Structure 1
């Protein structure tokens, strides 16, 4: 007679136990599938939006270049995440291709830094900013490179530091907002940023909430959608308040 006591070592079908200190969470097969699909659905729409809409709406060469950068690194975010989680789905349970999966994970995390930099670049370049913004449009890429170097050297070793780095690099450049002469569209950027911030909560709930990582992916999709719409609606085309210089 069990008397209602549940064996803590029994694995649930939709989530496993929370990882202990120094351990990595072991997703269930259901979670691997959800992790893969939840970002795979972003690849096609991101490519279509950037190639058929944003590039066509770009006005003059500078906007076109910025949209290429923005489109490449946004789509790369979804592709790298999907490929990594697909390999985890196919090979983790059999413990195959460990080194390849390790480097795919690094690429997945590195693409987040590049995505953050690419998301800020159109705003910091096409909007007239004060002194902070003028420097941040190149410093954000330096921060991204430093984040990638950190990821390569200390991957999964200091998870709290890693989260703090993402938050600082994602939130820090927002100070340039206060020096912009035109703030139209920034409300959409703030909503997108809030979606990412809420998603981070689920990023830390593996083993507590089933499909927590896939839910984090969904919030990334929501945040990227708001940011992409803001760029498309408020930064592209002729802008008398922020004229694009000849390149």
Structure 2
């Protein structure tokens, strides 16, 4: 491993108190919305689908709740050892949430178009991302951003069956949500600029809302 590859602890800029308050509030709102999303998705899945739809709904909503709760706690904690643990959990949960967001589309919308294959591939890549978070803490931030983007846009290879199976409004909500996440990645790597991480949070929240609407209205 080259000396210049990973970020050293000294080069990592800490967030100010004001930034952490903004970061906590932004994803605290996301956590509340995720809590509200669970019964909505479960009821919708039970009403319109079967066991697969219910399982997909639970995987999706639980992964969303995990991400927003982990992020909120990480940013809300003062700099103590527990904060470092929640940082790893927070960043790992991002990968799980992306994979969880794929799951309803893979298991329901793309069920007859190798959706299970896509689901397995996405979850495998998510596990790789989690391993990186756990064992290569001081890596360049762009590496995480690239994996987030790769995970998020794996669906491009399945666009034809997705277009054929998903109603146009649902497809637009899915794609625009993905664009919001992608724009957010730009701000994610700009940690040295004050409040850019909060801006990243806002874009992620927007992407989550749009894709939630796609899932609950057109997939489950």
Structure 2 length-normalised TM: 0.87
Assess if the C-alpha contact under 8 Å between 2:166 and 2:218 holds in 1: no
Distance 1:45 1:76 in 2: 12
| Structure 1 residue aligned with 2:3 | none
Q: Deviations over 1:116-158 (max 9, x none)?
A: 1011111011023676534111121111111111111111323
- Pick the aligned partner of 1:216 from 197, 200, 214: 200
Q: Does 1:199 align with 2:177?
A: no
Structure 1 length-normalised TM: 0.78
Which residues in structure 2 correspond to 1:85-100 (within 5 Å)? Answer: 85-87=75-77, 90=78, 92=79, 97-98=80-81, 100=82
Which residues in structure 2 correspond to 1:162-177 (within 5 Å)? Answer: 162-177=144-159
| Structure 2 residue aligned with 1:232 | 216
Gaps of 5+ in 2: 1-6
Assess if the C-alpha contact under 8 Å between 1:55 and 1:68 holds in 2: yes
Assess if the C-alpha contact under 8 Å between 2:145 and 2:188 holds in 1: no
| Structure 1 residue aligned with 2:165 | 182
Assess if the C-alpha contact under 8 Å between 1:132 and 1:175 holds in 2: no
Gaps of 5+ in 1: 1-20, 237-247
| Structure 1 residue aligned with 2:122 | 140
Following TM superposition, where does structure 1 have runs of at least 4 consecutive aligned residues deviating by more than 4 angstroms? 129-132
Larger helix fraction of residues: 2
Distance 2:200 2:58 in 1: 26
Q: Give the stretch that moved more between structures: 103-112 or 129-138.
A: 129-138
Structure 1 or 2, whichever has the larger Rg, is 1
Assess if the C-alpha contact under 8 Å between 1:80 and 1:108 holds in 2: yes
